[in-house]
Amino acid sequence: MMSARRWVWVLFPFVLLTHFDFWRVADPTLLGGWLPPELGWRVFYIAVVWCWILALCRWAWPGEDRP
């Protein structure tokens, strides 16, 4: 099983790539008739960020919490 530290390093380039996503082209349609792809992409991005933050916290505070 991957350690929290490894998750942080593996996910970090992915997170940056998701932010600097200049390869994507504007797509003014609606996924499922209601979701703009741009919005879906960014919400997915925040979900990835959240996972990254969870891994970062686990790495920064392993085991017992510091007082």
Partner 1 sequence: MSAGGIVTTLGVYLGALLLIGWLANRGASRTPDEYFLAGRKLGLIVLFMALFGTNATAFVFIGVPGLAYHDGIGVFSANAPIVALCTPLSFVLIGVPARRMAIRLGACTPAELYSRRFASPLLGVLLFLAFTIYTVPYMVSAVVGASLTLESMSGGAIPPWAGGLAVVGVAVVYTSLGGMRATAWTNVFQGVLFLGFLLLAFLLISSDLGGLGQAMRSVLEKDGSLLALEREGSFAFRPWLSWSLVISLTVIAFPHMFVRLMSARDESSIKGVCRLYPIGLLALWLPPVLIGVWGASEFPGLVGKESDQIFLSMIDAHLPSALGVLGMIAVLAAVMSSLDAMILTLSSMLVRDVLDPLRGRPEADVAWARWFCVAISVVVYTLALWRPASIFDIAKVAFSGYVTLTPLLFLGVNWRRMTRQGAIASVVIGNLVLVAGLAGWIPTAGFLPVFWALLAALLAALAVSAVTEPGSIPA
**Binding map of partner 1 across residues 15-44, x = CB under 8 A, - = no contact:** x--xxx-x-x-xxxxx--xxxxxxx-xxx-
Name which of 31, 49, 48 is nearest 40 in CA terms: 31
> Site for partner 1 (CB under 8 A): which residue of 2, 10, 17, 53?
53
Beta carbon nearer to partner 1, 2 or 48: 48
- Phi–psi pair at 15, nearest 5 degrees: -65, -45
Rounded to whole angstroms, how far apart are CA atoms 6 and 27? 34
Q: Quick one: which of 1, 8, 2 has its CA closest to 60?
A: 8
> What length does the chain have?
67
Asked if 66 interacts with partner 1 (CB under 8 A), we say yes
Residues in contact with partner 1 by CB under 8 A are 15, 18-20, 22, 24, 26-30, 33-39, 41-43, 45-46, 49-50, 52-54, 56-57, 60-61, 65-67
